[in-house]
Amino acid sequence: MIQVIYDEKEDEIIPVITCDVCNNRIEDVLNAVAVNQNVFDMGETPTKILHAHKGRCHDSAEAKIGKYAGWEELSAHLYYLCKNLGLTSQWFEARDRPQEKNDR
């Protein structure tokens, strides 16, 4: 699940992904998955995605889906999400560049 939290250290509100099973923040994208109903079973209907930590949370997310669940690494899921939204590597690079004082 995508949520926002207040980060006291940075003094700003930041978006985070939390596990839909244990509700804890997912901090390591390489240790998480996106679980959904198998694409061959869903037909034309969009399906809910469950974000989960690998291991027990992943197993519980698949059980929550009920039928055979498909899944992919969370890193791949986020890559395709950004790609489908039109966010390119150039967009990310432009966002990461420090702004000049005159640009503010």
pLDDT for 103 beyond 60: no
Most confident of the following: 6-15, 43-52, 60-69, 88-97: 6-15
* Total domain count, the chain: 1
> What per-residue confidence (pLDDT) applies to 31?
97
32 domain residue, yes or no: yes
pTM for the structure as a whole: 0.78
104 domain residue, yes or no: no
Which ranges in 6-45 belong to alpha helices (H)? 39-42
> What per-residue confidence (pLDDT) applies to 48?
83
18 domain residue, yes or no: yes
pLDDT for 7 beyond 90: no
Asked if 33 and 52 touch (Cβ cutoff 8 Å), the reply is yes
103 domain residue, yes or no: no
Range of the domain at 46: 2-98
Give the whole-number percent of the chain exceeding pLDDT 70: 86
Asked if 5 and 24 touch (Cβ cutoff 8 Å), the reply is no
